[in-house]
Chains A and B, each alone.
Chain A
Amino acid sequence: MLFKISWKNILDKKLNSFLCILLMTLGIAMISLLMLLGKQLQDKFAKNISGIDLVVGAKGSPLQLILSSVYQIDNPTGNVYLDDVAAIAQNPLVKEMIPLSMGDNYQGFRIVGTNKKYFEHFKTKIASGKMFKGNLEVILGASTAQNTNLKVGDTFASSHGLDSEGEKHAENNYKVVGILEYNNSVVDNLILTSLNSVWNIHEHQEEGEEHHEEAAADSTIKREITSAIIKFRSPMGMMTMPRNINQNSKLQAAVPAIEVNRLFELLGIGIEGMQFLAAVIMLISGISVFVSLYNSLKERKYEMALMLSMGASRTRLFLMLLLEGIILSLLGFIAGIALSRMGIYLISNALSKKFHFDVSQFSLQTGEIYLFGGALLVGILAAAIPSIGIYRINISKTLATE
């Protein structure tokens, strides 16, 4: 019955209740959305760097190097000679060196030349077809295959550069020989091939343009790659090598963990600011519950005195009013969580096309349980302060004067 009265009161004041719930919904949805996005981005970023100790590439911004080589989202800093990188890999501290060479794309999906170690690193499995072997054979990441509709046996012409609008390498077509299983990593959005294929494509192009000017004369042309992923045998490598490379060579060494932390520090300011804003919205929702209940309590003073005279205890009525605040904030919370899931769904749809990041996770986060507590607290506090008035009502006076 108490619940019924609370509920009916909420229904009775539709506009007021709507405003309270709306504000709570917005606050909760914003905070929850930011939490979800932050967490998933962090997960995604963390997953892709796991095991990668160092990235070596051309000099430039270390963050750019990491973003381009590990996450495949920024432009590369430039090219380096394979020989230079191979020299570094000779160091006994280096366990593994995975070369990466990029520069072309197909419909915006990057074509990356690399070797088998790259696949071992990401523990990929082949869903259909086989691993590339010969010249111009490629294997597709799962998302790439899905979005480009390429199948095993198809051929395509790549475009130069990393934008899909780049000039086409019309004379040489890549051939799809395999498709990888979904790996939930950056590999999903790539087209992978051998280093040789990438070199060949560009050599042909250069030959065509420059009419064999020097190609034949120089059988020892220095092979170029974009960057290389390096794994160390021991943490000792991490201590000495990055500094050594940066100071004593034309190469740049960037530590993914450091750069990603830096990135998240930068992003964190934005996220924190937004969360603060959302918390303010929640607070305003609390204030609107407060004002709404305060006003209605003034109107309902006689009603309260009446119920007191009919045998209700003050505590019971106090709880009834609290219940109104709780119901409002609870509804706001549920609507907010639903809204944030909807937002995540939309964002992940938009993201997976543009940035090749798939962020889909709909389960309740631990942070949201705290959020639930916060919402409840706001509701209870906002309702409790005006409801204390219940304990001050003089029944006889109220009933006599109105």
Chain B
Amino acid sequence: MNQKLNTMLACSELSFSYDIKKTFNFPSFSCEKGETLLILGNSGTGKTTLLHLLALLLRPKGGSIRINESELATLTAKEASEMRANHLGIIYQKPHFVNSLNVLDNLLLANYLAHQKQSKEQARKLAQNLGISELLDKKTSMLSGGEQQRVSIARALMNNPDVILADEPTSNLDDENCEKVIQLLENQSKNIGAALVIVTHDQRLKDNFKNIITL
């Protein structure tokens, strides 16, 4: 397989430190189009730090991040923000929304903030795929945990990102919902040909994936 054509995300020798005493050094890895990479690690191993590095929310001390062959580690804050909005879909551990807006507007917000056309069709289509069509007019605070997690998946997919990053997407969910959410995540990212990176300590997911990195 021609690796160059299909590699969506590639990281090498990323390192980061919050202070002088402790420096995180991360292993190099890559992830291809439509593939899923599971990064397992216990608390304190820098899972969230790594995800924030990939999400360009933090600037690495060293190493490189490449998405679609472009180097991201050296972007300015503004460029990083644009890159993140348009090419990355992020699902945070605890689903958070703009509380005053309903589900549909929360989805459209992703378009709006990325300076893209607000596409109601896209939102409806995603909602249908994720089984949340009936929830579009509801306030996000009215939803259950599993529903909220699905809405945040839909939001991450609104701008057809190249890479989807999920931070502990299943830690607050029961087994049934956990299974569902992972299925949906995988299917949706395959649909749009994005690379999916899941960072978690949830051992339940170990059996679902073949690409696993342990921190």
Contacts and interface: CB of A to CB of B under 8 A. Distances in A.
Q: Name the interface size band of chain A.
A: 20 to 34
A311 B82 contact: yes
A312 interface: yes
A395 B113 contact: no
Nearest to A2: B112
Contact of A4 (B57, B81, B105): B105
B196 interface: no
A309 B57 CA distance: 7
A399 B98 contact: no
A399 B52 contact: yes
B99 interface: yes
A11 B105 CA distance: 15
Contacts of B118: 1
A394 B207 CA distance: 36
15 contacts: A5-B100, A5-B101, A8-B105, A11-B100, A302-B96, A307-B113, A308-B81, A309-B55, A309-B84, A311-B82, A311-B113, A311-B114, A313-B78, A399-B52, A399-B92
A312 B90 CA distance: 15
Contact of B113 (A8, A300, A310): A310
B57 A1 contact: no
B48 interface: yes
Given A5-B100, A309-B57, A311-B84, A396 B113 contact: no
Can you list the 3 inter-chain pairs with the closest CB atoms, starting with the nearest? A311-B85, A8-B100, A12-B100
A145 B99 CA distance: 63
A303 B48 contact: no
A396 B94 CA distance: 14
Contacts of B29: none
Interface string A120-161: 000000000000000000000000000000000000000000
B177 to A, nearest CB: 21
B73 to A, nearest CB: 15
Contacts of B82: 311
Given A4-B105, A303-B96, A312 B113 contact: yes
Interface string B80-110: 0110111000101010111111000100111
B58 interface: yes
A311 B98 contact: no
A396 B101 contact: no
B125 interface: no
Contacts of B99: 12, 300, 303
A237 B105 CA distance: 78
A400 interface: yes
A9 interface: yes
Contacts of B138: none
A41 to B, nearest CB: 46
B47 to A, nearest CB: 10
